[in-house]
Amino acid sequence: MSRYASVFRDDLFAGQIIIVTGGGSGIGRCTAHELASLGAHVVLIGRKLEKLEVVASEIIEDDGSATFHTCDIRDEDRVIEVVEAIRQQHERIDGLVNNAGGQFPSPLAMINKKGWDAVVGTNLTGGFLMAREVYNQWMNDNGGAIVNIVADMWRGMPGMGHSGAARAGMINFTQTAAVEWAASGVRVNAIAPGWIASSGMDTYPDFIKATIPNLRDHVPLKRLGLEDEVSATIAFLLSPAAAFISGETIKVDGAAPLYPATIEIPAHDNSKPYQGFHRASFPDFLVELTNVDTGDSDES
């Protein structure tokens, strides 16, 4: 049986309970698999039961441990209920990966209040509610680690201003929580993925998918990133190796925001991706953009 080829030792999170929101697909699914392969019991949270069931069954089939709860993280009462259920069932919560998010493309002038509230509610308020409840119900007295997933919005986020505003808010929340919760032994960090190849890209509108092949031209490493490369950074921040890191945001973006407009970086294929996820899959049109070895990444 093939298994996740993590760079970390197999028992890194043995005995730990780690929550992963948005665990039914994409980066959340990949992260859940890696953490489970490192000994954690992973609690998947998402809105769609079917996706959670599939990921949990994959993890169990790979000899990992996982359970799941359906939850709209914008619903405060439901968040409180789910975190309490997790605490009562497992008697501890060691880590939280605030990965759930969502947005839709639109210029600012065309976003109505309902759309704005929906995106900010998912990408900022929901993450706050999850972190607050995990802290209040367990980590306040026992310590722990929280990793918030944000986005590359360092030069604004034209076309998705609602998401950019929410992600910027989450970075500030990360910094504030890192200070306020430090005395409890809680570390709070964030990760800002850049353009990451994911099966979710297949659901994008055609006009968005048409732009994806050009994205690598604006990345010094000349490729898109992989879910595995984000997951590995999450695992590091949750681990004891990051014990003196808190309040930081780590960019996983191939230096794209630093790409200068004044020079041209020649095309190359010298950046070799890290491929650890044995169940990774994404649309064929992304293979050329990532330098992946499909013989490894599509293995199941």
What is the domain-level CATH number for residue 81? Answer: 3.40.50.720
The answer as to whether 5 is a domain residue is no
Which residues are CB-neighbours of 21 under 8 A, at least 6 positions away?
A: 28, 45, 46, 71, 73, 96, 97, 98, 99, 100, 126, 127, 130
Q: Tell me the one-letter amino acid at 125.
A: T
Question: Residue holding tokens 């430090």?
Answer: 182
Instruction: For residue 233, tell me if it sits in a domain.
Output: yes
Instruction: Say which range, 108-112, 113-117, 156-160, has the weakest mean pLDDT.
Output: 156-160
Q: Is the pLDDT of residue 71 over 70?
A: yes
Q: Which residues contact 2 (CB under 8 A, 6 or more apart)?
A: 278, 299, 300
Query: Residue 32: is its pLDDT beyond 90?
Result: yes
Is residue 12 one of the residues assigned to a domain? Answer: no
Rounded to whole angstroms, the Cα distance separating 291 from 205 reads 24
Q: How many domains does the chain have?
A: 1
pTM value surpassing 0.85: yes
Which of the 8 DSSP states describes residue 10?
A: T
For 250-300, the pLDDT digits (tens) are 999 999 999 887 888 888 989 999 999 999 887 766 766 777 665 543 333
Residue 129 lies in a domain: yes
pLDDT given for residue 139 in this prediction? 98
Q: Note down the domain range covering 182.
A: 17-297
In a domain, 10, yes or no: no
181 domain residue, yes or no: yes
Is residue 275, in this structure, part of any structural domain at all? yes
Residues sharing a CB contact under 8 Å with residue 273, sequence separation 6 or more, in sequence order: 223, 225, 226, 228, 229, 290, 291, 292
